[in-house]
Amino acid sequence: MLSIYLMPILMRPLDFLTNFKNYTLGFVAYMAMMPVFTMVFQIYAMSNLHDISWGNRPSLTGQSAFTSNRNDAIKAEGDYKMFRTNFVLFWLTVNTVYYIVITLTVNSSVDSKLHDSDSEYLAYFAIYLAALVIFRVLFALIYICKWKMRYNCCKSYKVVPLNPREDVKGRKEKAEPVEEFDKSDVEKVN
């Protein structure tokens, strides 16, 4: 599975060699912070389930949009905040209990002999993950090759290089001339 991180290095070796320090530091930081990112993003997502504004909503959102009485709106908003707080606390408590149960279960089975079925399960899971990575890489390469073939073989998929400066010059030359006027013409109209 780590080969998926080595693929970009193998595909662009000169870029990797010139930016070796940045690649190495970025990879180490990514691997070290991955558990933190997972936990922080999950807690952030659970704490912000109520936020449905995507920047294109009207100014009235939440409970105040559904009630006409201001006191009812304030009470409903307070109830909703209390529900959100209780929901997040319940979720954190359940996850903490789950962590404790798993930790106690693993620690109690350390002394006992590992069963063959446990190692088989992990082997099958590792094979599944490796197959998933191979599947993703294989079909990504097929997709890239398909589009490269289309760009190189079919005229309708050819990318025409554009020069924006030449395009603007051509449009200016084709445009109809605009009459020049001075400030005195504007003052006469007013």
- Tens digits of residue pLDDT in 53-103: 665 555 555 545 555 677 887 888 888 888 888 888 898 899 889 888 888
pLDDT at 142: 93
Give this prediction's pTM: 0.39
**Which of 133, 159, 160, 132 minimizes the C-alpha distance to 147?**
159
**DSSP code of residue 2:** T
Q: What's the chain's average pLDDT?
A: 77
Cβ 91 vs Cβ 101: under 8 Å: no
